[in-house]
Amino acid sequence: MIKVYSTPTCPWCMKVKDFLREHKIKFENIDVSVDINGAREMVKKSGQMGVPVIDLNGEIVVGFDEEKLKRILRIK
């Protein structure tokens, strides 16, 4: 399962989630503004405090890097 660590006010988080929905890719959204365990998990995985962080089955993408997401997800 793909996990998106985000906050409700982050515009780049919204872009990531819109991108995934557009390509019909299911994901779990973890709101790190209220989920402290999720925030800790995000930092442990990425070393980052900033959002979005996307966990693509163990491959971590920090920020909305559309080209990298397309490559990992094999989207043309």
What residue spans define the domains of the chain? 2-67
CA separation for the pair 50, 74 (Å, rounded): 25
- What ranges in the chain are assigned the alpha helix state H? 11-22, 36-46, 66-73
pLDDT tens for the chain, residues 1 to 76: 899 999 999 999 999 999 999 999 999 999 999 999 999 999 999 999 999 999 999 999 999 999 999 999 999 8
- In this prediction, residue 29 carries a pLDDT of 98
User: Which CATH homologous superfamily contains domain 2-67?
Assistant: Glutaredoxin (3.40.30.10)
- In this prediction, residue 1 carries a pLDDT of 87
